[in-house]
Chains A and B, each alone.
Chain A
Amino acid sequence: MAPTTMAQALNRALRDAMAADESVVMFGEDVGRLGGVFRVTDGIAADLGEDRCFDTPLAEAGIMGFAVGMAMNGFRPVVEMQFDAFAYPAFEQITSHVAKMRNRTRGAVSLPLVIRIPYAGGIGGVEHHCDSSEAYYAHTPGLKVVTPATPADAYSLLREAIEDPDPVVFLEPKKLYWSKADLELPTRAEPFGRAAVRRPGRDATLVTYGPMVPVALEAAQAATDEGWDLEVLDLRTIVPLDDETLADSVRRTGRCVVVHESAGFAGVGAEIAARVQERCFHSLYAPVLRVTGFDVPYPPPMVEHSHLPGVDRILDAVARLQWDDAPDTRFLAGVPA
């Protein structure tokens, strides 16, 4: 057992996958000699060969379309989009081709490729470097959308993503790259489509994923001072979604708060809230609440702390879960003029 950061676990997963399968190649901007701006590919080009891990021109649609062609012809490309918002030039390739090739060819052509995207904020990044873009991808049928919250999951989910016959958008929470855990690699965790109960609890369920998992755990710890025993559910894979574990948890606790960093409007939390009320309505003691970033463009370093959901915002929401049958007054006044 050794302390391992998420970035190191991802690096090891790439190395192990490339050693296990000659067809796995890694490419993107600055992933070669530099090892990526977050050093996730550190040393791979030198150790495994410059034809296995190579730099591309600065053109994200090009990276993506080139990967499609290689995946059509026997390779398993893993591409890196340098930052969340830098992936947008590749959006057409991702939504019109990556996501649809299997369907358009009636199953004849599958695209086993992985799109690695460092995402979300909390690192003092300037504009266009801190977007949470998971909802765009999760809304697109044909893509799997994965986001690890622990170094062990980072390793295991990336290995599984590379082995998966379908394209996977692999969202790496930037602020967790340097988070550490004692672990022995290789390791395998639960497969895609299985959420993890990070903290069991009886009174309410916090549903979250990626960068907000540690924050939710901190909130759950703080909640014990108020006498609340909160369960924390880490979705791990947004697509496929683990409806079963989600519904089981909320039926037990009767209360649910969804927490994510990205803007709330039309976000993943909206989908979770809808699914919970569809499946757990008769078990609920209170409406499902969402704690999210505001519906504003991701703010600059000087004010990002006001935007990001924190322990207090989560505990405020938990306090509004009608513990004494007192109605939540926040939404009674209607929309402000």
Chain B
Amino acid sequence: MTTQADTRTGTARGPAPAAPPHTRQAPDGTAAAAARLLPAAVPVRFLDDDGGAAPEAERAGYTAPTDDMLVEAYRRMVVGRRFDAQATALTKQGRLAVYPSSHGQEACQIGGVLAVRDTDWVFPTYRESMALVARGLDPVEVLTLLRGDWHCGYDPRATHTAPQCTPLSTQTLHAAGLAYAARRRGEDTVALTFVGDGATSEGDFHEALNYAALFHAPVVFLVQNNGYAISVPLARQTAAPSLAYKGVGYGVPSEQVDGNDPVAVLAVLQHAVEHARAGGGPYLVEAHTYRIEAHTNADDATRYRDRSEVEAWERRDPIDRLGRYLRDHGLFDDETVAAAHEEAEALAGNLRERMNRDPHVDPRELFAHVYAEPTPQLREQLGWLEEELAAEHGEEQG
């Protein structure tokens, strides 16, 4: 069996062997190894708050994405924000049961899915509707759960996208297991898992970092630190210097990035994905961003934060910053902007039209996918439900 392996990359099959206890590294070596895992002292950025060039040192050695990639990111961010606004409006009209907005987090939402291939897997939380639409999933399918239906709406196998996950951080372990399974088969699939700042307090997040590191699973953990877990600010969530420092204890290389700088987000994520794909194991990226809207439509953010704070973040808007950068570099013109907005309006109009049709949800299907084959008890209960439905139908007819 594989026991002698490169300890940096593990083996294609099986877990990497652990170092025996008697080979403990000297403190000097430990410190150096730890230093290689630590994030930059300040969040990596390419753009200043207005979209001008940030000082070279703040790029921390990362390579900028291609111009084409940045133009594409701009287009998808404009469309993504319009989608988000439309979903929020549909919620107010009663067409969605609930909607957690990602307004303000466009650089992370779009940067995340642009950094991976279609064949890679994405493990989203409930706040990633925009990312999934940017990934090319049907917006109506993406909103299936949020409009009150019983399933995730899309086919995870066909889309390489796990169901949007409500229990916090639980999906990070699935990402680790799935990525490890792919690697055992010699595939170069990477799993990208989204997670929020509050969810980094959950045990599963830590277990996932540990498992991914030990088993050299190609997973990228993208922590969108948007400042709040519903109402609880980050200062009440952790005493860590920043969330990116949570990687070092597990042997996971980590980075922190300005989450409202689309150039930096893409630069760091592309590096992280390449690191994982090349066999380097997991990578943790903390993106400092901000949730412009309340937690969901059901939340009232005025109870826990000042308008001035929101306005300060609005001045660092990721779409505006990237727009200025692209314009300064002659990478697009008014026509490109107009085309992006036109596409966004078309998507919103289509979404409105389709979401305003009453969906037909058949309660009988609730019994179809509990098990591969319904148990005798489920078949019996389905019969009872059908009798009730027939009786209701009879009353309507009568």
Contacts and interface: CB of A to CB of B under 8 A. Distances in A.
Interface residues of B, number: 47
B167 A96 contact: yes
Interface string B180-218: 111011000001000000000001100110110011000
A89 B215 CA distance: 21
Given A62-B173, A65-B207, A70 B1 contact: no
B369 A102 contact: yes
B251 to A, nearest CB: 12
Nearest to A109: B156
Interface in A255-270: none
Contact of A165 (B13, B157, B372): B372
B365 to A, nearest CB: 8
A227 interface: no
B167 A108 contact: no
Interface in A103-158: 103-110, 141-142, 144
A239 B375 contact: yes
B167 A92 contact: yes
B210 A59 contact: yes
Contacts of A70: 177-178, 180-181
B186 to A, nearest CB: 12
B15 A69 contact: no
A103 B375 CA distance: 14
Contact of A92 (B170, B180, B377): B170
A280 B325 CA distance: 77
Nearest to A60: B207
A49 interface: yes
B152 A65 contact: no
Contacts of B2: 50-51
A103 B372 CA distance: 10
A139 to B, nearest CB: 13
B174 interface: yes
A93 interface: yes
B65 interface: no
B276 interface: no
A307 to B, nearest CB: 31
A252 interface: no
Interface of A: 49-51, 54, 56-57, 59, 61-62, 64-75, 89, 92-93, 96-97, 101-110, 141-142, 144, 165-166, 193, 239-241, 243-244
